[in-house]
Amino acid sequence: MIQTQLKVIKADGSIEEYLHTKVMGTINNALGEIDHANIDIAEQFAEVVTFFLYNQYNRRTVTSGDIFSMIKVVLAATGYEDAAVALSEHHFKRRLKRSRIEVVSIDVQDLTNAELLTGSGESADRTRWDKSRIVEDLITGYGVCRQTARTIAAMVEEKIFNVGMTLVPSSLIKQLVLGDTATILRAQRQLQAV
């Protein structure tokens, strides 16, 4: 019997193919949070999640939240409760960071007054941070495949998090997207040449 590729409904409503390796990476990262990173254990636990999704869940789609919950259950049920807690904390911290970031429609090259970024000066258009906007822009505007676009958006988001800014100029995001897109496309070309 040929199994249909499982689709994952992401939190932003987009749909992508289920990736076993992504589950494996999430589990290994959770184990790493408690200093027990082990790719072999992560592979075995990911096999359990994947098996359950394909053979017991009996649907063609699953939400990313359901997968997240299954990963935590597998970790807790196998003696890695601390890793399940660390995964939840990591997820919560990322959601909190996202909720605190706003994108300000200004060009940093034209920025003559820092008050535009503090919000105490002239009113600039502000929107909530949403990495899915980067994904959709790359897909519709530049024909980048969804998986590559999500990778680029995740790289940009990580840089924004690491800088620690809560008001981010839209022109900075454009520059980060441009740089990370060039990096990913160059890496893809090198892999194809091998």
In sequence order, what are the beta bridge partners of 63? Answer: 9
- Reported as type and span, the H/E element at residue 182 is helix 170-193
Same domain, yes or no, for 18 and 88?
yes
Give the pLDDT confidence score for residue 34 in this predicted structure. 94
Same domain, yes or no, for 91 and 138?
no
Domain presence at residue 78 = yes
- Is the overall model pTM greater than 0.85, yes or no? no
Same domain, yes or no, for 26 and 86?
yes
Same domain, yes or no, for 84 and 141?
no
Beta strands across the sheet bearing 15-17: 15-17, 7-9, 61-63
Give the pLDDT confidence score for residue 60 in this predicted structure. 87
Of 96, 120, 139, which residue constitutes the final position of a domain?
96
Same domain, yes or no, for 144 and 107?
yes
Considering its fold, how many domains does the chain have in total? 2
Of 81, 96, 111, which residue constitutes the final position of a domain?
96
Point out the residues of the chain with pLDDT beneath 50.
1, 121
Which residues constitute the domain of residue 84? 7-96
CA distance 188 to 182: 10
Domain presence at residue 1 = no
Question: Token digits for 5?
Answer: 């590729």
Same domain, yes or no, for 168 and 155?
yes
Of 65, 81, 96, which residue constitutes the final position of a domain?
96
